[in-house]
Amino acid sequence: MQSDVCEFLTQLIRYPTITPNECGIYDFIQSHLADFEALRINKGDVKNLFLFKHFAQGEGRALHICFAGHIDVVPPGDGWESNPFEPTFKENHIYGRGAQDMKSGVSAFVCAIRDFSKTYEKSKSKQPLIISVLLTSDEEGEGIYGSKIVLEELKNCDLLPDLAIVAEPTCTAKIGDTIKIGRRGSINGIITIKGIQGHVAYPEKCSNPVELLGAKLGSLAGVQLDNGDEYFSPSKLVITDIRGGIQAVNVTPANLTIMFNIRNSTHTNVSDVQTYIKKILEGLEYDLELRQSSIPFIAQKDSKISEVLSTVIAGVCSIVPSFSTTGGTSDARYFSGFGIDVVEFGVLNDRIHSANERVNTEDLKTLYEVFLKTIHHLNQGANQ
């Protein structure tokens, strides 16, 4: 019911699940989906939970819809007006770490699935359907042993979902205004320009890497590597750090190190970046390290889950959601990597990772309603 999704969230906030700590929160969540089968897939300090239930195992292949999220949160930091792990109600908002990112999303879909499961037994629909929940305690961290290894295990068990909704906070101004249908990738790079250290009074005996870079910096800093498209902004090289020397005013540095990041669209890959930098730094002696920490992805053009979710949001929120790929990386990329039709949708993201993080209670109830109606919609058309 809408009324208890807020209470459910307050219970989740009380668990201080700073990455990768699970703090027993899975037992509480599982108790609300007690008739679901459960897999606990743990590795190292990371704990993952996968719950699933078959509805009406009739003829035909069951449609499998997964709701996914993370229960871990970033450290609260300073500046809070209340205990970040003791939820506080104020002016139609619930305050606490994880209120937006993303225990609100987890609360909404767990309550929606629970209530659908209760009413399903009384319904006449007997469409083959599987509903599942995938949760990890390591999304805010490295994520090495989180959602990815769960999906690998599900593939081995022939349990991979067909569709998935990751309940990240996606909206910007109003609940329902944004669905994430993809995400940019992330390429990290380090360039080390090599020179010859020496005394500033004898520049002819030195090779100053700062001067070597100087004429070329404008072709690196902030450069757009592609033009983007309808859904992706251009891939842009952003320099995050430049350092060299020994902090002496009379000694030129031997090397200069430049660190950068590129949030890349599907139009630029690591090879493209390498080719571009090679062209710009031609004639210089340098080392280049490149690492793609996440791959860009976008939902399938005929995405069923995008269509269904958009229709439901329009009905519930009286707004037509825009499709977006902005923001940082998320675990949705792992679902896409396994060929799963995945989107992200959740509450507003204006207070994520900040002091006094909060969520509007009406938005939370609306999210619950969107998820519940999405399940009903998919159930009605599961075998069509």
Domain with residue 240: its CATH number is 3.30.70.360
Domain match, 169 and 301 both: yes
For residue 168, indicate whether it is catalytic. no
Distance between CA 12 and CA 23 in Å, rounded? 10
**pLDDT one digit per residue (tens) for the chain, 384 residues:** 666 999 999 999 999 999 999 999 999 999 999 999 999 999 999 999 999 999 976 667 899 999 999 999 999 999 999 999 999 999 999 999 999 999 999 999 999 999 999 988 766 666 789 999 999 999 999 889 999 999 999 999 999 999 999 999 999 999 999 999 999 999 999 999 999 999 999 999 999 999 999 989 999 999 999 999 999 999 999 999 999 999 999 999 999 999 999 999 999 999 999 999 999 999 999 999 999 999 999 987 779 999 999 999 999 999 999 999 998 889 999 999 999 999 999 999 999 999 999 999 999 999 999 999 999 999 987 544
pLDDT of residue 380: 83
Q: Which residue pairs from 325-328 have beta carbons closer than 8 angstroms and sit at least 24 positions apart in sequence?
A: 325/180, 325/181, 325/182, 325/183, 325/184, 325/231, 325/232, 325/233, 325/265, 325/296, 325/298, 326/180, 326/184, 326/233, 327/170, 327/180, 327/183, 328/183, 328/186
Q: Which of 257, 274, 294 is the last residue of a domain?
A: 294
Residue among 22, 101, 138, 139 flagged as catalytic: 139
Q: What separation, in Å, do the N-terminal and C-terminal C-alpha atoms of the chain show?
A: 28
For residue 139, indicate whether it is catalytic. yes
Structure tokens at 96: 């606490």
Q: How many residues does the chain have?
A: 384
Which residue reads 């890349």 in tokens? 264
Residue among 72, 138, 162, 331 flagged as catalytic: 72
pLDDT of residue 384: 43
Domain match, 175 and 195 both: no
Q: Which of 294, 325, 349 is the last residue of a domain?
A: 294
Domain match, 192 and 336 both: no
Distance between CA 254 and CA 179 in Å, rounded? 49
Domain match, 343 and 364 both: yes
Amino acid at 62: A
Its domain, for residue 202, covers 185-294
CB burial readout 172-202, b (16+ within 10 A) else e: eeebbbbbbbbbbbbbebebebebebbeeee
Domain match, 177 and 61 both: yes
Helical pair 361-380 and 304-317, crossing angle rounded to 10 deg = 130
- The four Cα atoms 213, 215, 216, 217 give a dihedral, to 10 degrees, of 70
Domain match, 64 and 132 both: yes
Q: Which of 294, 328, 357 is the last residue of a domain?
A: 294
Domain match, 160 and 239 both: no
Domain match, 6 and 130 both: yes
Give the C-alpha distances (Å, rounded to integers) separating 160 from 150, 155, 279, 336, 341. 10, 5, 43, 11, 11
Domain match, 310 and 162 both: yes
pLDDT of residue 120: 84
Domain match, 91 and 13 both: yes
Structural contact between residues 139 and 56, judged by C-beta atoms closer than 8 angstroms: no
Domain match, 61 and 195 both: no
Domain with residue 331: its CATH number is 3.40.630.10
pLDDT of residue 366: 98
Domain match, 287 and 329 both: no
Domain count, the chain: 2
Give the C-alpha distances (Å, rounded to integers) separating 13 from 23, 72, 375. 11, 10, 25
